[in-house]
Amino acid sequence: MLQRYLQPDVLAGISGLELVAKTVVDGFLSGLHRSPTFGFSQEFAEYRAYYPGDDLRHVDWNVFARSEKMYLKRYKGETNCQTTFMLDASASMQYGSGPVTKIAYAKYLVAALAYMAVGQRDATGLCVFDDDVRGWVQPSTRQGQLHRILNTLDKATPGKRTSFEKPFVHVREFLHRRGLLVIVSDLWENPETIVKVMEPMRHHGNEVVVFHLLDEQELRPKFKDPVLLEDMESGDTMEVTPQYAATEYKDKITSHCDDMASKLRGAGLDYTLVDTSRPLDEALRGYLAARKGRM
Amino acid sequence: MGFLSPWFLGGLLAVGLPLWIHLLRQHKTIPQLFSSLMFFEKRTQSSVKHRRLRYIALLLMRMAMILLLVLMFANPFYKRTLKAGEGTQAVVIVVDRSFSMRAGDRFQKAKDGAMSMISGLAPGRTARVLALGGSVEALSQATTDKGEMGAAVQSIQAGDARGSYGELIKTLKSLMANGPMEVHFFTDLQRTAMPPAFNDLRMPDNSKLVLHAVGEEQAPNFVVESAIAPRHIYDTKKARVHAIIAGYGTPAAKKTVSLVLNGKTLATKTVDVPANGRASAEFLGVEAPYGFSRGEIQIDGGDSLKADDRFTFAVERGDPKKALLIHDGRQARAALYIRAAIDASAEASYQIEVMTADSAANVSLSKYAWVLLADVAAPPASLEKALNDYVKNGGGVLLSMGPGSAARQRTLLADDPIDGSRYAAREGDLFQTAGEIDTGHPALRRAGKFEGVKFYQSVRVRPEKSRVLAKMADQSALLLERKIGEGHVLTFTSSLDNVANDFPLHASFVPFIEQSANYLAGLDEQAGTILVGSFVELRSDKSQTAAAEVTGPDGKRLLSLQESTSAPNFKVKDEGFYELKRPNGKQELIAVHADRRESNLERIPADAAVLWQKTGQGNETPAGASDPDSAAREEKRPLWPYLLLVLLIVALVESVFANRYLAGDPDDIKRRTEPKAA
């Protein structure tokens, strides 16, 4: 029953990102019936024989008492991970054929993930960008971090054109320890350029998760009549026929998404395509499934 | 097929208007925002071109609407040949019963012709009967019953009213709404019954007129055209009756003219009437008994229309009535001039009593026909109240305002504000003259323009409650009238004593005093002789609920019980004497005579009659030779109702198309007008 609260149009009727995030996460978790400790909690994985030099704190002394052999206890997850969210607030994110625009959907998504991350006591940060950094919250575990993130999210308004280079350089300067980097964008750029910009983030030992947000009309455009389209970022106009949009454009955008997925995954980045007309939990579930596979 | 108003086809030029608008209209395509045009390519098919193509249907419908509208105005018709008995025109039988039909046996011939017409109608043919007198009367509904038609014709009586062919055509046009008709008109085709414009004789379309003329082409006729007799006789020796005898189509002849009063011939004269001309006869001295008398001017007969050989008039003989002149002791001179004027008058005779305001306060005013207040500035309160009551009960008061009245704030009785007095010296040009005068008012009808009268002093009265009848040259009021209750108050803003002006020395003084006196005494309310068809006023105030009585020439009461208590007037329909008793108790005798234009029996020219018959359907059937059932006829059927229906359908379809084409993409409108989710 709570599933319906995760519909984008329902979330659009909820004021306040904190409430949205809480609604999303609680609804999502109650539907998942799974522990939220996806790698961040201590979970037993295996025993390994002790070798000189190993940290004695990990020795299972109960086993040693019974067998007088020293074994080390190993765990699956890491705790206190640093999670940084990067939200694309370019003009194209303002688009939305339904009741919820891409930027609104992205805010819900980031808010929900931040809510979960803060709940895990992760150091959580946020970077809002278009062609430059428009909002920055230093990753931290301090009290009130969630409110700072949500407040920055709330103030984020679509700005100019997208440019990934400058914001990513900025974020890279503040990432001193390896962690999780979550990028939410519509990625209107060549896959090669995207990979070129994001791949260095991976080299620093970070896990990079990319949410590719696209509107249903962008994925499967339906025009009754020939229309004059205006680019929201460049302002260019172009007359488009319904036939072209239904055939060639659809092929091109599908090819673009496939290309983007293969190239990003090939570079070790996690890629998830999100249709903003779909419920938010589908994106979360897809993301967690992908994360689980990698852990 | 043809058009009844083909000149409207010029409106077809307007068909190009939607074409022009559609071709030159700038199609503004609203750009639709999209996140990125990265994967879009330009295609040759233009949305604007596409939209223009779709607008062609709309364009054609709009052009069709204008075309249909123009065609409707052009009033197209198609001709349909009717066989005998199919789509029959209703027959309308009209019998002329105007005064001229009394000549000879015209009326009887007209009725006989109508009866034979009815008997010749095919069985089942619908007809109705009308009579033309002072108005057109429908004597039967459309019926196939010949007996009913015959009874309607037989019930028609010769009348005294003047017939008008224009009125007949108006009635026929209103009947035309029931369908095509064939009119058979039995008349003497009198020329004077024609309307001023021949176009007013035009028969309704799709109708047929057959004229059945009765009587001779030109019947010579002598007539007493008019008789002028005094309404009131006070001195029988001074009374005069003046008559005019006319001949229409007559040779020169000697006619004997008699003055008859109450059936007794008082005097006889012989006049020579020239050929087709007029002569006058005057009788001096009318020995009328006291009360109302019925007078007649008669000529010896010899022509076919005997009803116009007499002209009736009514006179009333009485003793001179009393009138009261009130002055304040300084204005006694006015009595001299008033008396002289009354004595010089032929139609007014009053005994003037003169007294001061103090004396008049103890006198009953009801016995006086009218009262003159000669510059009475401050009458006793009892006199002022008595005057007010006197006027409210129907009395008349004439106020003359000398220098004494200028001291008052408001005028007596009329209660208009006084703005002071204007004085001038007798020397030089420093005097006022009369300006605009309402010569239609009974008190000023024959007083002229007060030519040459010099006013040296006058009181400036602001007409607040009164009506201005005459003005000075400087637009200040000279004579005012106020109606109070049943009576009248005339206020003359100067005096009548040859001091403040020299009015009494001028010729206009006598008729002014005479008519004012008669007006205030209520003696001119009704003329002694009126025309048939005129209305006689019974009560001026609807609140008067006392009964009025009217007795007709035949001695019967003409008003029902309800009419006698509420009717404001009544119409006289026949010649003769009418006795009238007004709600205020006054009795009158009124003589009614026929319009003398009916006495000219000349016919309309034959070519005009033929032309008249052609105005309807253009049927050239000669008069009297018509057989409405024998031949097949053509009927014009209008097409405009069908065009209107098509126009309505096209308009509805156009609305649907226009809504669909021009409303725009609803999704796009919604996206642009609704606020974005944050």
For residue range A100-115, what is the model confidence (pLDDT) as tens digits? 899 999 988 888 888 8
Contact B488, B503 (CB under 8 A): no
Alpha-helical runs (H) found in A136-279: 145-155, 165-174, 191-203, 216-219, 242-244, 250-266
**What average pLDDT does range A75-88 have in this prediction?**
73
- pLDDT at residue B624, rounded to an integer: 42
Average pLDDT over residues A118-130: 85
The pLDDT of A136-161, averaged and rounded, is 86
Angstroms from B653 CA to nearest CA on chain A: 22
Instruction: Give the residue from A7, A14, A225 with the most B CB atoms within 10 Å of its CB, the best one to mutate.
Output: A225
Query: Cα separation of B670 and B677, whole Å?
Result: 13
With left for phi above 0 and alpha for psi between -120 and 50, is residue B452 left, alpha or beta? left
C-alpha distance from residue B72 to each of B6, B64, B509, B637 (Å): 10, 12, 67, 13
| Mean pLDDT of the region A117-122 | 79
Nearest chain A CA: its distance from B655 CA (Å): 21
What is the pLDDT averaged over residues A214-219? 90
Residues of B in contact with A248 (CB under 8 A): 41
Take residue B74 and report the two structure tokens written for it.
Answer: 């052009």
- Contact indicator for A49, A70 with CB cutoff of 8 Å: yes
Residue B50's closest chain A neighbor by CA? A226
Residue B90, amino acid = A
Confidence of residue A35 (pLDDT cuts 50, 70, 90): very low
> Is A96's CB within 8 Å of B677's CB?
yes
Q: Do A225 and A239 contact (CB within 8 A), yes or no?
A: no
- Mark yes or no for CB contact B41/A232 under 8 Å: no
Block residue for tokens 């204007």: B422
Nearest to A229 among B40, B676, B677 (CB): B40
Between A12 and A279, name the one with better pLDDT. A279
Minimal C-alpha gap between B21 and chain A (Å): 23
Q: Do A93 and B35 touch (CB under 8 A)?
A: yes
Nearest to B219 by CA among B256, B179, B247: B247
> CA quadruple B155, B161, B163, B166: dihedral positive or negative?
negative
Residue A20: predicted pLDDT: 66
Backbone angles phi, psi at B246, to 5 degrees: -125, 155
Going by their DSSP bridges, the two strands B487-492 and B477-484 should be labelled as: antiparallel
Between the CA atoms of B539, B543, B547 and B551, what dihedral angle is there, to the nearest 10 degrees?
A: 20
Q: Which residues of A touch B42 (CB under 8 A)?
A: 238-239
| Residue B537 neighbours by CB under 8 Å, 6+ apart | B525, B526, B568, B569
* pLDDT value, residue B438: 87
- B32 and A229 within 8 Å at the Cβ level: the answer is yes
pLDDT at position A40: 37
Q: Does B663 touch chain A (CB under 8 A)?
A: no
Q: Report yes or no: B38 at the A interface, CB cutoff 8 Å.
A: yes
Question: What is the model's pLDDT at position A45?
Answer: 65
Across chain A, what does the average pLDDT equal? 79
| Sign of the dihedral through C-alpha B610, B611, B616, B619 | positive
Give residue ranges of A with CB < 8 Å to any B CB: 12, 92-97, 99-102, 104, 154, 186, 188, 215, 218, 224-234, 236-241, 243-245, 248-249, 252-253, 256
Distance CA B534, CA B520 (A): 25
Strands B587-593 and A237-240: unpaired
Interface with A, mutate which of B33, B36, B673 (most A CBs under 10 A): B36
Q: Please report residues of A whose CB lies closer than 8 A to that of B677.
A: 12, 96, 99-101, 104
CA distance A196 to chain B (A): 19
Contact B47 A226 (CB under 8 A): yes
pLDDT one-digit tens code per residue, B645-666: 999 999 999 888 888 776 655 5
A224 and B665 within 8 Å at the Cβ level: the answer is yes
> In chain B, whose CA is at the least distance from the CA of A106?
B678
CB atoms within 10 A of CB A203: 10
In total, the C-beta contacts within 8 angstroms joining chain A to chain B are 97
Q: Which of B27, B29, B39, B52 is most worth mutating to test chain A (most A CB atoms within 10 A of its CB)?
A: B39
Q: Mutating which of A215, A216, A229, A251 best tests the B interface, going by the most B Cβ atoms within 10 A? A: A229
Q: Could B36 and A232 be called an inter-chain contact, meaning their C-beta atoms sit closer than 8 Å?
A: yes
What is the C-alpha to C-alpha distance for residues B483 and B590, in angstroms, rounded to an integer?
26
Question: Of A221, A229, A226, A228, which is closest to residue A249 (Cα–Cα)?
Answer: A221
Task: Report CB contact under 8 Å: B30, A228.
Answer: yes
Residues of chain B with pLDDT under 70: 23-29, 42-54, 82-88, 177-178, 331-332, 346-348, 425-429, 524-528, 540-544, 617-635, 662-678
B676·A186 Cβ contact <8 A: no
- Between these two residues, B148 and A226, which has the higher pLDDT value? B148
pLDDT computed for residue B96 by the predictor: 92
Rg (CA), chain B: 38
Which amino acid, residue B354? V
Q: What confidence score (pLDDT) does residue B644 get?
A: 92
For chain B, give the number of residues.
678
Q: What is the pLDDT of residue A285?
A: 73
User: Per the structure block, which two tokens stand in for A284?
Assistant: 């979360």
> Which residue has 């925002």 as its token pair?
B33
Q: Which of B37, B46, B50 to mutate to test the interface with A (most CBs of A within 10 A)?
A: B37
Within an 8 Å CB–CB cutoff, is residue B670 touching chain A?
no
**Cβ atoms of residues B98 and B162 within 8 Å:** yes
Asked if the Cβ–Cβ distance from A229 to B36 is below 8 Å, we say no
Candidates A113, A210, A100, A181; CA nearest to A153 is A113
* Contact between residue B185 and residue B172 where contact means Cβ atoms under 8 Å apart: no
Q: What is the pLDDT of residue A37?
A: 39
- Residue B309: name the closest of B298, B296, B294 by CA: B298
d(C-alpha B263, C-alpha B269), whole Å: 17
Nearest-CB residue to A229 (from B34, B45, B676): B34
Strand runs labelled E in B188-290: 207-213, 221-228, 232-233, 240-248, 253-261, 264-273, 278-284
With contact defined as beta carbons under 8 Å apart, do B180 and B88 qualify? no
Q: Which of B35, B40, B43 sits opposite A186 (nearest CB)?
A: B35
Check residue A178 and report its DSSP letter. Answer: -
Measured between beta carbons, the chain A residues lying within 8 angstroms of B34 are 95, 218, 229-232
Name the residue of chain B whose CA is nearest to A237's CA. Answer: B31
Q: Is the overall model pTM greater than 0.90, yes or no?
A: no
Taking an 8 Å cut-off on Cβ atoms, the answer to whether B665 and A225 are in contact is yes
Which CA distances in Å does A1 have to A96, A105, B347?
26, 21, 113
Q: Which residues of B185-209 are buried (b: 16+ CB within 10 A; e: fewer)?
A: bbbbbbebbbeeeeeebebbebbbb
Of A130, A100, A111, the C-alpha closest to A276 is A100
Q: Are B328 and B375 in contact (CB under 8 A)?
A: yes
Asked whether the ipTM of the predicted complex exceeds the cut of 0.85, the reply is no
Stretch A34-61: mean pLDDT, rounded? 69
Q: Which among A96, A186, A249 has CB closest to B39?
A: A249
Query: Under a CB-based contact definition with an 8 Å cutoff, are residues B325 and B400 in contact?
Result: no
| Contact between B40 and A244 using a beta-carbon 8 Å cutoff | yes
The reported pLDDT for the residue numbered B43 is 61
Instruction: Tell me the average pLDDT across A143-153.
Output: 88
A97 to chain B: closest CA residue: B671
CA dihedral B524, B525, B526, B527 (to 10 degrees): 20
Contact B183, B210 (CB under 8 A): yes
Which positions in chain B touch A256 (Cβ < 8 Å)? 39
Inspect the interface and report whether the beta carbons of A224 and B35 lie closer than 8 Å: no
